[in-house]
Structure 1
Amino acid sequence: MNRMIDRLLLLLFCSMALLTKNVNEYSSVYILVAITLVAIDFYFESERVSLILFILSIIGSVFLPDAFFCLPLIIYGLFGGRYRWLSLLALIPFFVHLPDYSTWAFAMPALFLLSAYLSLSTAASEKRIRDNNALRDLNAEKQLELEQANQELMERKDFEVHAATLEERNRIARELHDSIGHVLTSALLQTGALIATCTDDKMKQPLTDLKGSLTDGMNQVRSSIHDLHEESEDLYASVQAIIRNFSFCPVKLLYNLDTVPDRPIRNTFIAVIKESLSNIARHSDATEAIVSIREHPALYQLSVRDNGSVIGGSVGDLEKSRGMGLLGIEKRVEILKGNVVFRKQGGFEIFISVPKEQT
């Protein structure tokens, strides 16, 4: 926009200079030709085009004295490039036709200086705008990187806290099993021995009741330890650990579960993810993989896909080339009464769906 305003201003002054010298039937033609050349220069925005137009204008000014008055307008596009020093060629038509010019023509050097000033100042302004935009984009990019790094740090912190909590639950479950479990087992054995050796019929019934209470307590402790141990086996933490230890290519995890799947489902998903990532490392040239675990009202879904090429031209060839791995996945999913699909579209995908209720 600034360059258009500059050219309009130069057009005004050049027209005044031309009309002051001489007004004839060709004056408007010179102005229209100058406008056409400027439009061509403005459209292409090329240094070579500006140079060609300038040379044509110099040649025309040598043979047509009035064309010289339009040179400041043409030379504007030349000052912004590496050919700016060729603008001194404008002195040739000036001195060739100097005797024919009016006194007003001696103001033409001022128009050339104005053209140079406007071109260079506009170029500097555009450079400042570009630099400011580049700096703003760089700041925005750095800000985005900082936000992403902060988000990753927060997620890692949450994961470490979650992993520490699960580890603590696992430790408590082990201690309960090693301490209380052994004490109750010993008490049950001793009570059973007392019942076997007791000759007093009046004491046998209380001892039998005591053994029943100890048995109930033992079962409750076992159930609590079992539940606590299951809670310590977190699917998300296990998958994160698998992905973190996988170095063949970046792996993105999409995890969206509101409930905790049963242990058989968790174990199957973990085994499938391990096998899938192992297959990617051994049989694919993938540069990225995505593990997606989602929950629906009646089922869980697992998808592991990559963007690499695989061995063979079909899924059947793929199964032959990858051996028993895919067959093992099919067997595991079949036990859970689920479905598994192997797809080859822009990579390879293992898609599994299993029902929530295992009957």
Structure 2
Amino acid sequence: MRLNRLIDKIAILVMCMMSLTLSDSFIEPVILTLAAVTASAAAQLLTGRTAASVIIAACSMLCGAFPLFLCMLPLMLYDALWEKKWWLVMPAVLVFGKLGEIKVLQIIMIIAAIAVTVIIYLRVSGLEQTVTKLTLLRDEIAGKNRQLAEQNLRLAQAQDNEIHLATLKERNRIAREIHDNVGHMLTRSLLQSGALLIINKDEQLREPLESLKTTLDSAMTSIRESVHDLHDDSIDLKKVIEDSISTVDSRFSVTLDCDVSESMAGNVKLCMIGVIKEGLSNAVKHSTGDKISIIVREHPGFYQLMLEDNGSCSEIKESGIGLKNMRDRVEALKGRISFTTSAEGFKIFVSIPK
């Protein structure tokens, strides 16, 4: 904008100097031109300040003392228009008493320059308003695009969560179907084959019956492992923890920070869930605090769990069945668990190797 304004002022200055060239003097036009250029530059530098208005008004008043300065009035008018105070050039009417010192052609050229100045200002100011509107529109569109991108991301995440939950439900359904149908039929077949072995009197049939029983045993083991794998994979650790938190007394403010991969083993998930449920239950029953923090982390070599409340606790009764159950769960996975008491609260720390 400043560059466009500078170019326009150069064009207006050229028109003003053309009217000055009609003067009979040489020194006075040069001095007045330098004074007008200096004042205009200062007014542009101080745009929006009171000093700029004072400079423009003072230069306009100079027309009364130096009638030839009227030739530079278009330049001062341009600055006044940018200040939104066109009336700052009104003191130039003082020149009317000495209008005879200015040539008619100079007056015509001054009027023409004033008209061109107004036209240039209207064009440039209109262009500036258009650019401002376009900039605001661009910023608004950019903001809308960011909001749309964030909304699309949230929708995609919600859709992924729904697909994940649907997958887990389907795995659970398949595991139940296998357990309830195929598992029961294999169990019945195993019992029948065992009964046949007991009542069989024909030695020639014993080996085929034992082979059949062995095959059924292998099939049952394979089915059982598959069901357990499906069940373990279908456990959404974070979802189960959040469900457990939702049942906690409303007097507690519970925060959860869970950062683990989906590849966590099912037995580790069950251990974590058991410890967290027992820890939340103990906090509700015994803690005098109002805040509970749960952090579950996965590291390259081990999994980590920290559960802490801000209730005061002076001692731990290791004889409690709840603490024993937590310790048994963790030690079964060759992990370590510690219980820490302090005036600031009670902390459970669990570390399970991969």
TM-score with structure 1 length normalisation? Answer: 0.68
**Partner SS for 2:27:** coil
Counterpart residue number, 1:98 = 99
- One-letter identity of the residue aligned with 1:97: K
1:54 equivalent in alignment to 2:53: no
1:261 equivalent in alignment to 2:264: yes
Distance 2:244 2:85 in 1: 62
1:122 equivalent in alignment to 2:124: yes
Shift of 1:138: 2.2
Q: Is the 8 A contact 2:172 2:230 kept in 1?
A: yes
CA 1:59–1:254 in 2, change beyond 3 Å: closer, same or farther? farther
User: What are the Cα deviations for residues 145-187 of structure 1, in whole angstroms up to 9, with x where unaligned?
Assistant: 3333333333333332332222111100011111122222333
CA 1:153–1:83 in 2, change beyond 3 Å: closer, same or farther? same
1:27 equivalent in alignment to 2:29: yes
Q: Is the 8 A contact 1:31 1:70 kept in 2?
A: yes
- 1:1-359 correspondence runs (5 A): 1-46=3-48, 48-84=50-86, 86-87=87-88, 89-90=90-91, 92-103=93-104, 104-193=106-195, 198=199, 200=201, 202=203, 209-235=211-237, 257=261, 260-267=263-270, 283=291, 296=300, 298-299=301-302, 320-321=310-311, 337=335, 357=354
Q: Give the fraction of aligned pairs with identical amino acids, expressed as a percent.
A: 26
Tell me, which stretches of 5 or more residues in structure 1 are unaligned?
Answer: 244-250, 276-281, 285-290, 305-317, 341-349
CA 1:81–1:40 in 2, change beyond 3 Å: closer, same or farther? closer
Q: Which has the larger radius of gyration?
A: 2
Shift of 1:206: 5.6
Distance 2:174 2:231 in 1: 9
Shift of 1:303: 11
Distance 2:244 2:61 in 1: 76
Q: Is the 8 A contact 1:261 1:356 kept in 2?
A: no
Q: Is the 8 A contact 1:47 1:78 kept in 2?
A: no
CA 1:292–1:220 in 2, change beyond 3 Å: closer, same or farther? closer
Q: Is the 8 A contact 2:63 2:70 kept in 1?
A: yes
CA 1:186–1:161 in 2, change beyond 3 Å: closer, same or farther? same
Shift of 1:71: 2.0
Q: Is the 8 A contact 1:54 1:78 kept in 2?
A: yes
**Aligned Cα root-mean-square deviation (Å):** 4.6
**Partner SS for 2:177:** helix
- One-letter identity of the residue aligned with 1:180: V
Distance 1:256 1:262 in 2: 11
User: What are the Cα deviations for residues 119-152 of structure 1, in whole angstroms up to 9, with x where unaligned?
Assistant: 2211111111121222222223323333333333
Q: Is the 8 A contact 1:173 1:225 kept in 2?
A: yes
Q: Is the 8 A contact 2:60 2:89 kept in 1?
A: no
Counterpart residue number, 1:343 = none
Distance 2:148 2:52 in 1: 45
Q: Is the 8 A contact 2:336 2:351 kept in 1?
A: yes
Distance 1:303 1:74 in 2: 75
Structure 1's consecutive aligned runs of 4 or more residues displaced over 6 angstroms after TM superposition are: 236-243, 251-256, 268-275, 291-295, 301-304, 331-334
What count of residue pairs does the alignment treat as equivalent? Answer: 311
TM-score with structure 2 length normalisation? Answer: 0.69
**Partner SS for 1:200:** coil
